[in-house]
Amino acid sequence: MNQHAGSNDHPWPACVGVEEAARMFGWPPYFIPALMKCGHLKPLGKPGQNARKWFATCELERLQHDLAWLDKAVRLVEKHVQEANHKQRESTLRVEPAAPEERLAA
| Per-domain boundaries in the chain | 15-105
- Strands (E) in the chain, as ranges, are 15-16, 55-56
Would you identify the CATH topology of the domain 15-105? Answer: Multidrug-efflux Transporter Regulator; Chain: A; Domain 2 (1.10.1660)
- pLDDT for the residue numbered 7: 47
Output the CA torsion sign for 101, 102, 105, 106. Answer: negative
Residue 51: count of CB within 10 angstroms of its CB: 10
Give the model's pLDDT for residue 98: 59
* pTM of the shown model: 0.72
**What does the pLDDT read at residue 88?**
86
* Core vs surface per residue 71-95: b (16+ CB within 10 A) or e: eebeebbeebeeeeeeeeeeeeeee
Q: What would you measure as the largest C-alpha separation in the chain, in angstroms?
A: 71
Give residue 19's identity as a one-letter amino acid code. Answer: E
For every one of its 106 residues, what pLDDT tens digit does the chain have, with 9 covering 90 and above? 445 555 456 688 999 999 999 999 999 999 999 999 999 999 999 999 999 999 999 999 999 999 999 999 999 999 999 998 998 888 887 765 556 665 566 5
Predicted pLDDT at 67: 97
